[in-house]
Structure 1
């Protein structure tokens, strides 16, 4: 097998995050799902945007955030996602390419506009996300370049994008292309509500041996397995995927690979400012280590270091030198 051109190619939502601090009372007044992610339509997105205080716009999207972290660590990355031919689409395209990530998906000329996620951040750093998927849910299978997918060591799929029909079909095709090329498939479950809607699909993919690396947090693990007890859930899933990575917020994370297990504590953080993207950046550190053949424990530590950096400031794209932080931590 030829050495891959890219360490990872990801398929995910092309979203611009619009973030603003807020008090708890505003969440209550707007009837928001505190700490969760809710899909909203155009009308609700406009209502929430009007209620926000001064906001900061930062390119986001779960898989794109992961690639931004990986690229900062020196990995070679490519992204597939759909933007519209509008201002936010231009912002997203510029930001991802400026991070050294290949992005060639053509912009969509017609409505709806580029996706945006309206994020309300309370004083404790918790983020409440309200996502208008816009153009991102119209990624067609025709947008895929099979040769590029086959030229990446790992195909990384974002669970959020499994919901709409077109990108779900695109991701199913990408899985087949990657597996035919002898590449690995990594999948992030993204959110419990996605599993509640599509858990049968995800469990079938695991049963069929089509997922090599699965990322979940403890809540997603419980939804996926029906097991309230964490270790019972770990046992059930780790028997079906070669590599399971499960994060537990402040309690750290575990990974199980072919029966071997490793655990790490969360890295210390002076102050949690915003938890947006913590799981995305954990995946960035872990996948970068995995692509380099690092041990399970070192992969987990790289993930924990990246997650700690991201929750120390607003936004889900790294601001500090991740490579320097990882090198300092691991030596």
Structure 2
């Protein structure tokens, strides 16, 4: 199939992020594990929001952040995620479409409130996420535009969305539709929390050859492999997925495709402010390279550039011109 509607179609949680500063004492008093993500109900979301300091509301969600990075790099991008017919849902849809991303799921009035993530950023720039999934967890198979999936060169799925049953079934259906159309599936493990909950399913997807590009960070790939050694964990999965991409924060990233292996260092930054979205934007850069037919090293470089931009300000969406930062890589 040569008719491509999207270079990358992203499917994930449609979440509005509320970001506020906090100190370690606040996290300890609330019993929060710094740097982690936990799922909370609406009552806990209201309670914690009332205790947070002044916050900044920005549209987020892992795959949504990746879509924003892709669009900023000039890649034809679509997004699928469920919002409610409420104020936050309207904000989310506007933010997505204002970036040139096609938003493919109608808002619903029967799914409660639009999802939000309460993000506490400590002085060391670590982010602790408290996520109320709301409407996002009710994305159903009927909400997936399968023609869009079949028309996307790559469909990108986030592990965060694997927890609820309905979106999990929807993503499985999208995988089948994409592969039946000769397209590729990219999948991010998202968080060690997701790996610990769904390791069996993720391994099944790998063993059934349903993932063509797998994204992970060091903690996630080691958790998946059950090996507390980076190189050994990478080697454990390198031959099991066509393309493996693993990030290592300030130590850069590696990618393995068959007999080819590439690595890049992290991009230099002036100040580390907020690590929220670093992995999402890295994935955006790498997938932009894939969409443009660049090699592994150049795609990793694009990922490192995009990740470096987003960690130097609050929020998980790029603020500077990513195409300008990428320079000749995507000229």
**RMSD of Structure 2 on Structure 1 (CA):** 1.1
**Residue 171 (structure 2) aligns with:** 171
Query: Quick one: distance in 2 between partners of 1:146 and 1:111?
Result: 22
Report 1:169-318 matches (<5 A): 169-318=169-318
Report 1:23-42 matches (<5 A): 23-42=23-42
Q: Aligned-pair distance for 1:36? A: 0.7
Q: Aligned-pair distance for 1:106? A: 1.1
Query: Quick one: distance in 2 between partners of 1:111 and 1:157?
Result: 21
Q: Aligned-pair distance for 1:329? A: 7.0
List per-residue Cα deviations over 1:223-272 (Å, max 9, x = no partner): 11111111111111111101000000011100001120000000011110
Report 1:2-41 matches (<5 A): 2-41=2-41
- Unaligned residue ranges in structure 2 (runs of 5+): none
Q: Aligned-pair distance for 1:3? A: 3.2
Query: Quick one: distance in 2 between partners of 1:328 and 1:8?
Result: 21
Q: Determine helix, strand or coil for the equivalent of 2:281.
A: helix
Q: Determine helix, strand or coil for the equivalent of 2:318.
A: coil
**Residue 75 (structure 1) aligns with:** 75
Query: Quick one: distance in 1 between partners of 2:326 and 2:90?
Result: 31
Query: Quick one: distance in 2 between partners of 1:67 and 1:145?
Result: 16
Deviates more, 1:309-318 or 1:26-35: 26-35
List per-residue Cα deviations over 1:156-180 (Å, max 9, x = no partner): 0010001100000000000000000
List per-residue Cα deviations over 1:270-299 (Å, max 9, x = no partner): 110000000000000000001111011100
Q: Aligned-pair distance for 1:110? A: 2.2
Is 1:98 matched up with 2:98? yes
Query: Quick one: distance in 2 between partners of 1:51 and 1:110?
Result: 29
**Residue 152 (structure 2) aligns with:** 152
Give the alignment's TM-score, normalised by structure 1.
0.98
Query: Quick one: distance in 1 between partners of 2:194 and 2:330?
Result: 35
Is 1:52 matched up with 2:55? no
Aligned residues: 331
Query: Quick one: distance in 2 between partners of 1:179 and 1:328?
Result: 33
Closer, same or farther in 2 for the Cα pair 1:330/1:100, shift >3 Å? closer
Is 1:326 matched up with 2:318? no
Deviates more, 1:24-33 or 1:290-299: 24-33
Q: Determine helix, strand or coil for the equivalent of 1:131.
A: strand
Query: Quick one: distance in 2 between partners of 1:330 and 1:7?
Result: 15
Give the alignment's TM-score, normalised by structure 2.
0.98
List per-residue Cα deviations over 1:308-331 (Å, max 9, x = no partner): 000000000000000000116788
List per-residue Cα deviations over 1:72-111 (Å, max 9, x = no partner): 0000001110000111101100000101000120112024
Query: Quick one: distance in 1 between partners of 2:30 and 2:123?
Result: 17
Closer, same or farther in 2 for the Cα pair 1:22/1:142, shift >3 Å? same
Say whether the 8 Å CA contact 1:7–1:77 is kept in structure 2.
yes
Say whether the 8 Å CA contact 1:298–1:330 is kept in structure 2.
no
Query: Quick one: distance in 2 between partners of 1:24 and 1:318?
Result: 27
Q: Aligned-pair distance for 1:21? A: 1.1
